[in-house]
Copies of this chain bind each other. A is one copy, B any other.
Amino acid sequence: MFSRSEEDHIKAIHGLLEDAGQASTKDIADRLSTRASSVTDMLKKLAAKGLVRHAPYHGATLTTKGRRHALTLVRKHRLWETFLVQRLGFTWDEVHEVAEQLEHVSSEPLIERLDAYLGHPRFDPHGDPIPDRDGRMPERVTVHLTEAQVGLRHQLVAVKDGSDALLRLLDSKGMTIGRVFTLSARQDFDGSLQLTWRGGGCDLSAQVAAHLLTVPDNP
């Protein structure tokens, strides 16, 4: 239906619209490690196919059709990541590149069966929501760890904009997605945090905490 390159562009535009509210030619090019002129070509092509609205010199947005396809790509990517971590035992910092390939495999039955096999997960191993078959996102009220209340129990549900280095740091401290912990203390001096959980705990700097999203986990 769509080529690998078309799908990559659609996903990049979707990501930029989510992150920044707009998708310029240059930003798309940077995200895909390609050149602005190549992106212009592709935008014309995708506009002709009715997936993208291209306002020359003013970036691109997705049509309803484009957004729908972007969401199926996100769905496939996150379901494969869940499979790789939950079933094959990859660590969550290793899976992105492989999922990037798997998401382009085109088979509706495959993805629906995979979804069922994984128990219809609502969030992937990074804590990001998995769109359902119709593109609907599950909702969840999250709190930045920097603003979470001291003395209460919380659960780590997502890492925003996590570099590999950050993911490894978290892994090494035992801060995996799903971790339930008590926020024992916050230092006024530098905003660093002390976390404890049954059998362990760790300290986190404010820089790290700024990337972590939590939900209250009150017993």
Question: Contacts A88-B113, A88-B117, A117-B88: A98 and B107 contacting too (C-beta < 8 A)?
Answer: yes
Q: A107-137 toward B: CB 8 Å interface, digit per residue (1/0)?
A: 1011001100100000000000000000000
* CA of A115 to CA of B147, assembled, Å: 44
A67-110 contacts to B, CB under 8 A, are: 84, 87-90, 94, 97-98, 101-102, 105-107, 109-110
* CA of A94 to CA of B113, assembled, Å: 13
* CA of A89 to CA of B97, assembled, Å: 26
- Decide if B89 touches A113 in the complex (CB within 8 Å): yes
* CA of A170 to CA of B102, assembled, Å: 31
- On chain A, the number of residues with a Cβ less than 8 Å from chain B's Cβ atoms is 18
Q: Which of A84, A90, A107, A114 has the most CB of B within 10 A?
A: A107
- Decide if A88 touches B114 in the complex (CB within 8 Å): yes
- Decide if A88 touches B105 in the complex (CB within 8 Å): no
* CA of A98 to CA of B88, assembled, Å: 19
* CA of A105 to CA of B110, assembled, Å: 15
* CA of A207 to CA of B54, assembled, Å: 59
Residues in B neighbouring A107, C-beta threshold 8 A: 97-98, 101
Residues in B neighbouring A110, C-beta threshold 8 A: 84, 88, 98
Partner of A98 from B89, B90, B97, B105 at Cβ < 8 Å? B105
A-B contact sample (7 more), CB < 8 A, given A88-B114, A98-B107: A88-B110, A88-B113, A88-B117, A90-B113, A94-B109, A102-B102, A105-B105
Which 8 pairs across A and B sit closest by C-beta, in order of nearness?
A88-B113, A101-B105, A98-B107, A98-B110, A88-B117, A102-B105, A87-B117, A89-B113
7 A-B pairs with C-beta separation under 8 A: A87-B117, A89-B113, A90-B109, A94-B109, A97-B107, A98-B109, A101-B107
Q: Which residues from chain A sit less than 8 Å from chain B, CB to CB?
A: 84, 87-90, 94, 97-98, 101-102, 105-107, 109-110, 113-114, 117
